[in-house]
Structure 1
Amino acid sequence: MKITGWFLRLWGKYGPARRLQIIEGDTLPSELPARDLVLTRDDGDDWSVGLRCPCGCGDRVEIMILREARPRWDISVNKAGKPSLHPSVWRKSGCKSHFWVREGRILWCE
């Protein structure tokens, strides 16, 4: 593992926790925040969550949470505003990262 990957794994686990930003609409903004997750909500329905890939490749990751979508994920937020995604995120292309978002922290699958 490169030093950059090693550092990003430590930073994801022990750095500042990610928060959830909620925007109105059903599409993600063109520019995503460096660390936080963005939830799209349209007329009270949650559509998707977007984030920058935590491996450092810079790719944009969109995760569908709309009930009718397949595959789909669930999102929960604790009292401190830190998000968790269920199940894990496993990118099938690009960097092929596999990770969990748990209470605002990135936990890598080995």
Structure 2
Amino acid sequence: MTLRDSLVEVSHEGALDLARLISAGSLLYGPSESLRTVDTERDNCLLETLAAAGKNARFFTNHGHAEDGDQANFLVSSFHVNSLADTTIDVCLVGVSDENVLVLWRFEDD
């Protein structure tokens, strides 16, 4: 199986939620309630990070809810992933454009 087989495309809005989860959530115990509230400073920082992927970037993840398309909720407390590493759980966000590649990846072991 290749990396491409484990990833599903997500919207820019979904990528922002995934960046929130990867930066400040627990994959084993669920995301903090604070991730569901507006935090302008945090979100501006994460939007700048996503912009580093380049213009017209497409985003991909191994988070199982990506299969739900536009209805995906990446901040739920239980989910499945197509694990890419030999850890208990990992979630990644990959942004790809003609200019750059951005990889955000969180690993957790219980």
Normalising by structure 1, report the TM-score: 0.25
Structure (1 or 2) with the greater strand fraction: 1
**Which structure carries more relative contact order (alpha carbon 8 Å, separation 6+)?**
2
